């Protein structure tokens, strides 16, 4: 690898750790409730950490959302809606969170938001970033991978342009989603809580090291870039007419080749994957995505080179 100049970032002073963005994903809810009562383990010397339950009404009812998915309500067009009591609960909450944690794109908001999620899919430990072009985020997930190597954390990059960002982490300058599975919604499992806790702690440790002047050298990182979502086969009435094939169930992240079986009809007919290249499916048969008409998401695995990063020196200004 050739040596590039270090990319510099301003130190971080404000971090938020969220649970309950989806009110039935219990690992983050369980931990956030604990941290609200016992914030000491979140404390670091160079920045403040704010734990927050993002959607309290949904948490109280142990449902994903009340009116609409909160984590799809942070697009610019929604955030700029005029405040109105007739707006859906989650739209009003998104606007509140944008003011509390942002506003999005401002210098006054959170420098990093860590959002905790669970999935029913066999995703293991997934570190989700909005864009692999943010090298603070890519170095952060790379550090987490190396530090908690036994957890085998994979990195998913949505690769969305700013105007297409839709989740709560997009309010902050930097973002990290932690997605652990499999775990049934409405259920809390000890092993997932401990994994989530360790990953969040490691992310905070990275920020502390960065703020104290630790420089992170260039390295390579394998990421899975989101390509598209794939719906179930449907009949003329729009009803699902085939399910995930047994040979593909629970095989998130593993290669899916053109012609491999992906769906199975009740008549026993296999439906092959009709893509033109090998991909890596994720969120296979996620229960919350049936309403989104998504049977699985397609990603491509790529290796990217990360330039070195460091904290900007006084008066130098951050390059990103």
Q: Tell me the pLDDT tens digit for each residue of 9-60.
A: 999 999 999 999 999 999 999 999 999 999 999 999 999 999 999 999 999 9
Which DSSP category does 72 fall into? G
pLDDT per residue as tens digits for the range 153-203: 999 999 988 778 999 999 999 999 999 999 999 999 999 999 999 999 999
Give catalytic residue positions: 179
Give which of 250, 225, 245, 247 is closest to 233, Cα–Cα.
245
**How far apart, in whole angstroms, are the C-alpha atoms of residue 235 and residue 180?**
33
Beta-bridge mates of residue 180: 118, 125
C-alpha dihedral, 41 to 18 to 167 to 290, nearest 10°:
120
Q: Could you state, in order of their start, the residue ranges of all structural domains in the chain?
A: 7-223+304-311, 232-295
Burial of 228 (0-12, 13-18, 19+ CB in 10 A): exposed
For the ranges 100-109, 183-192, 213-222, the lowest mean pLDDT is seen at 100-109
**How far apart, in whole angstroms, are the C-alpha atoms of residue 225 and residue 7?**
22
Helices (H), 14-134: 26-37, 56-61, 76-79, 89-101
Structure tokens at 223: 């990421």
Which DSSP category does 312 fall into? P
Residue 164: predicted pLDDT? 86
Strand, helix or coil at 163? helix
Which DSSP category does 153 fall into? E
What's the CATH number for 7-223+304-311? Answer: 3.40.630.10
Among left, alpha and beta (phi > 0; psi -120 to 50; other), residue 152 is left
pLDDT per residue as tens digits for the range 78-95: 999 987 768 999 999 999
The angle that helices 135-147 and 190-211 make with each other, rounded to 10 degrees, is 130
Residue 25: predicted pLDDT? 98
**How far apart, in whole angstroms, are the C-alpha atoms of residue 154 and residue 123?**
9
Burial of 262 (0-12, 13-18, 19+ CB in 10 A): buried
| CA of residue 71 relative to chain centroid, distance | 10
Burial of 152 (0-12, 13-18, 19+ CB in 10 A): exposed
Q: What single string gives the DSSP state of each residue in 243-272?
A: EE-TTTTT-TTS-B-TT-EEEEETTS-EEE
What's the CATH number for 232-295? Answer: 2.20.25.160
Cα dist from 41 to 79, 129, 145, 209, 267, whole Å: 33, 24, 21, 16, 54
pLDDT per residue as tens digits for the range 146-165: 999 999 999 999 998 877 89
């Amino acid at each position: 690898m050739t040596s590039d100049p270090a990319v510099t970032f301003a130190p971080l002073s404000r971090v938020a750790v969220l649970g309950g963005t989806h009110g039935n994903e219990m690992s983050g809810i369980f931990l956030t409730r604990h941290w609200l009562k016992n914030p000491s383990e979140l404390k670091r010397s160079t920045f403040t950490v704010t734990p927050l339950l993002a959607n309290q009404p949904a948490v109280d009812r142990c449902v994903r959302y009340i009116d609409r998915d909160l984590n799809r309500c942070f697009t610019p067009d929604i955030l700029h809606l005029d405040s109105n009591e007739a707006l859906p609960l989650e739209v009003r909450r998104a606007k509140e969170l944008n003011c509390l944690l942002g506003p999005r794109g401002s210098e006054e908001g959170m420098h990093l938001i860590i959002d905790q999620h669970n999935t029913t899919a066999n995703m293991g430990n997934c570190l989700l970033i909005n864009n692999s072009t943010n090298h603070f985020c890519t170095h952060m997930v790379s550090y987490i991978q190396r530090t908690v190597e036994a957890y085998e954390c994979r990195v998913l990059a949505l690769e969305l342009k700013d105007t297409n960002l839709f989740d709560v982490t997009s309010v902050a300058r930097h973002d990290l989603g932690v997605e652990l599975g499999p775990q049934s919604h409405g259920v809390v499992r000890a092993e997932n809580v401990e994994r989530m806790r360790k990953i969040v702690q490691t992310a905070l440790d990275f920020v502390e090291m960065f703020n104290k002047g630790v420089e992170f050298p260039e390295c390579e990182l394998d990421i899975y870039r989101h390509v598209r979502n794939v719906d179930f086969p449907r009949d003329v009435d729009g009803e699902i007419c085939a399910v995930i094939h047994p040979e593909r169930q629970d095989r998130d992240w593993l290669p899916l080749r053109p012609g491999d079986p992906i769906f199975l009809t009740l008549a026993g007919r296999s439906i092959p994957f009709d893509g033109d290249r090998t991909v890596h499916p994720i969120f296979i048969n996620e229960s919350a995505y049936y309403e989104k008409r998504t049977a699985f998401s397609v990603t491509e695995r790529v290796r990217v080179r990360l330039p070195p990063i460091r904290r900007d020196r006084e008066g130098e200004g951050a390059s990103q």
